[in-house]
Amino acid sequence: MDSTWIAMTKGLIQSEKVHVIAYNKIEKTRIMNLLRDNSISNSNIDFLIQKTDDVWVRDNGPIYVKDSTDKLEILDLGFNGWGKKKNERVSIQYSNCNKIPSTIATFQNIPSSV
C-alpha cells in the first residue's frame, strides 16, 4: 500500500498542496520518513494528526462550498458509516471518521456548517 501513497503524492505535489491525515505522531513520522526515503519533499505537504476508521477521506472528508457571499466554508453533513451498513463479520466503525470534517475546518481555519 505504501507504494500507492508514494506514487499519488509524487504526482500530486507537482501542482497541488497535499494534505495528509496521520493517525498519530508515530504514523506522521513514518510517513515523513517514507516520503523522504523516496525523494519526495515535504515542502508542499501538510499533516494533520487525527484518528480515523478508514484510510480514504473520500467518503468521510469535508465538502468545500461557498456561501452566498462567495466565502469558502466546509459543509459537515455527518458521517454514519455509509448508512450504518454492517458487514456480517465485522462492524464498520465510523465515530473517528465522523470528526474529520470539523477537525479539518479547525485546522484550516475555515468555518463549518451543518
- pLDDT tops 60 at residue 88: no
The pLDDT of residue 85 is above 80? no
- Domain assignments of the chain as residue spans, ordered by start: 1-49, 53-114
Using one digit for the tens of pLDDT, what is the confidence trace for 48-80?
999 988 777 878 889 999 989 999 999 998 887
pLDDT class of 92 with cuts at 50, 70, 90: low
Q: Can you list the alpha helix ranges (DSSP code H) found in the chain?
A: 2-12, 25-37, 57-60, 81-84, 95-98, 100-108
CA 17 to chain centre: 13
| Rounded Cα–Cα distance for residues 97 and 88 (Å) | 21
How many whole angstroms separate alpha carbon 99 and alpha carbon 97? 5
H/E stretch holding 68: none
Whether 43 and 18 have beta carbons less than 8 Å apart is answered as no
Of 11-25, 27-41, 46-60, 94-108, the poorest mean pLDDT is in 46-60
